[in-house]
Amino acid sequence: MAWMEKSKVDKAASVGNYLGLYLGQGQGVRLGESTVVSCHAHGRMPEKRVKGQIKIFTNRDAGKCFLDFVDEGQVVHIDVFHRPGEIEPIELAKAIFWALNQYFIVKDPQLQYAEDERFKITADYATRIFVTTGMGKGTVYNLMQEKVEAFGQTDEGYDHVHILAQLQKEEYYLVYVIAEVVEEFILNNELKLARVRNITHGNQKMEEESYAGYMRLPWKKLKGQNARQLPDKENVNQLIIKLAEKFGGVEEIEEFMENYSTNILKRKGIEQQKKKWGDIENDLEQLEELGILRDTMFGKVLTKQGQALKDFVLTNKCELETEIRRNIRKMPSGGKGRYKKLGKSESKMSSVELTNRNRTINNPDKNWSGNLAVPETIIQAKKNSFLRGDDHLVIKKDDLHYYDKKTYVPVDICFLIDASGSMAGDKRQAACFLAEHLLLSGKEKVAVVMFQERTSQVVVPFTRKQSVLKKGLATINPAGLTPLASGIMTAVDLIKNTRVKNPLLVLITDGLPNTPLWTMDAKADALEAASKIPEANISFICIGIEAYRQYLEKVAEKANGVLYVVDDLNKDNLINIVRTEKKQLQNARQ
């Protein structure tokens, strides 16, 4: 027995060392014959028809994609593969817990007598180990208390036990302990261990959204004579929402569909479309699968159903636009965004005070300068007089009621959008979506300045009108160079010359400046321009990508602002950042 235990400690230590080496290099390994360990997401490779192989997606960090971690490399991903079957997560969690607990005794016999201490150590690990089986999921800690989260459609686990453990490098030896007990548990459940033949490393092609698979459009004849009419309105609406997310709005959807009309003169080439909307191949494929488009000698054209969809869009424009706006207003789901914040925002904000006639305040403790609420005051006085037993109405200081005040910190936002060539497509769309989202979900004005080639211009002056915003955004056609200095100056001038409240300048860029304004040095000019931002009392944030972090940090510093580094300039990231920043500004007043 002692010998077995000794061997287990040795094995675990050796595994810990190897994992430290390989995981540190961004590699994954097969542990034993059924378990794959890495810091990334795993998947199988049906496309190659090589069975029993697991691919380690080196571009998808496990902590980030499963647990919404911001930093990479925090989480070890352990998959133990088995023949499909039911694994009870609560029992499994208990097994893991006791295996760890037991192991600590073996490793450090002192702990045998310090039961509380040992239990505390194990419980701490239990909160950092997350288990999913085909029957449910949760941290070991929660599962021990029978708190099971339901197994969702998108979860992994029906043919493997999926474990995420937040471990430091020095703790990697525990991976062995965990894998060993999970295997034992599987075997005790009369299930067999699957053999992972091979592992490979590579990128996961980001699964483009595929919606054709689950949508049903009404214009297709349903199979089966008795098929009940489905509430197809929802399907059509959802399809339009999808297309609007991609193309921008009802008008753009019409414009897009025009390219597939039978009237060849109205059609624009795919390259031209891509410039505006980014990669559209996925959508074309989806629409084809849905029976909206079909291939002909003259390229893709709308089918009869496609025509019906187009007509539907025309007759229901108003309702669809409402639905689209509703979708734009929505807060992005999926928890925290994937970004890093560098620097600290400190701004003095001024607030607007409004009288709230819905609410009155009695006997305020501070000096009160608000409006006296006469009816409430008299009623209060009458009541108190009565309760005191006065024989006539007496109004005392305690009876005074005032109307409540609401304070509100408006933040008018100017977007400074990089419209150089590299921003074409999805990044442009995301920036435009962000501007619309802020206009529709807030009460403040929004403006847009873009910079490209050699100059910059105001495409949307400060406005509250969605139509004005949309019209301006439609003129953004990314191309050419990155004249950041010019962009900053145009934005600063616009803000100075407009009556705005607590202005916030949001710079969105995926590159570095390469067109100077005053000197021969584009970067130095942009820094010089950035220094004008705090002089004009403008708050500033920059949203950029990791590769240019060093320089952008300097820009943010000069501007007395904050830099956000994102892994991707997608709309969820952008919205999360700007909303968070806006909220912080609003709370920072005084």
d(CA 284, CA 582): 37
Shortest Å distance, C-beta 123 to other proteins:
25
Site for other proteins in 424-443 (CB under 8 A): 440-441, 443
DSSP state at residue 465: -
Count how many Cα atoms sit within 13 Å of the Cα of residue 86 in the half-sphere of its side chain: 4
Q: Rule CB under 8 A: is residue 582 a binding residue for other proteins?
A: no
Query: Using CB under 8 A, which residues numbered 353 to 382 contact other proteins?
Result: 356-360, 362, 379-380, 382
- The pattern of x and - marking residues 510 through 549 that bind other proteins according to CB under 8 A reads ----------------------------------------
Interacting residues with other proteins between 318 and 337 (CB under 8 A): 318-319, 322, 325-327, 329-331, 333
Pick the stretch among 46-54, 266-274, 299-307, 535-543 that binds other proteins (CB under 8 A): 46-54
φ, ψ of residue 418 in degrees (nearest 5): -70, 115
- Each residue 63-92 as x (binds other proteins by CB under 8 A) or -, in order, gives ------------------xxxx--------
Nearest to 88 by CA among 127, 138, 54: 138
Binding to other proteins (CB under 8 A) within 386-425 occurs at: 386-387
153 binds other proteins (CB under 8 A): yes
The b/e string for 230-269 (b: 16+ C-beta within 10 A; e otherwise) is eeeeebbbebbbbbbebbbbbebbebbbebbeeeeeebee
| Interacting residues with other proteins between 215 and 244 (CB under 8 A) | 215-216, 224, 226-228, 230-231, 234-235, 237-238, 241
Nearer to other proteins, 383 or 589 (CB): 383
Cα–Cα distance measured from residue 73 to residue 343, given in angstroms and rounded to the nearest whole number: 23
Q: Which residue from 192, 266, 471, 589 is in contact with other proteins, where contact means CB under 8 A?
A: 192
CB 475 within 8 A of CB 468: no
Q: Which of 211, 402, 415, 548 binds other proteins (CB under 8 A)?
A: 211
- Please identify, using beta-carbon distances, which residue of 235 and 261 lies nearer to other proteins: 235
CB nearer other proteins, residue 179 or residue 416 = 179
| DSSP-assigned beta bridge partners for residue 457 | 450
Give the C-alpha separation, 566 to 571, whole Å.
11
What SS3 string covers 142-192?
A: HHHCCCCECCCCCCCCCCEEEEEEECCHHHCHHHHHHHHHHHHHHHHCCCC
Does residue 29 touch other proteins according to CB under 8 A? yes
Smaller CB separation from other proteins, 260 or 402: 402
Please give the full DSSP string across 304-344, using - where no structure is assigned.
HHHHHHHHHHHHTHHHHHHHHHHHHHSPP-SSS-SEEEES-
Cβ closest to other proteins, residue 192 vs residue 340: 192
According to CB under 8 A, which one of 112, 200, 210, 537 is a site residue for other proteins? 200
For residues 211 and 256, which CB has a smaller minimum distance to other proteins in the complex? Answer: 211
Of the candidate spans 6-14, 107-115, 249-257, 502-510, the one that interacts with other proteins by CB under 8 A turns out to be: 6-14
Using CB under 8 A, pick the residue from 48, 120, 169, 201 that binds other proteins.
201
Residue 92 is classified by DSSP as H
Instruction: Please answer whether residues 53 and 202 qualify as being in contact, where contact means their C-beta atoms are separated by less than 8 angstroms.
Output: no
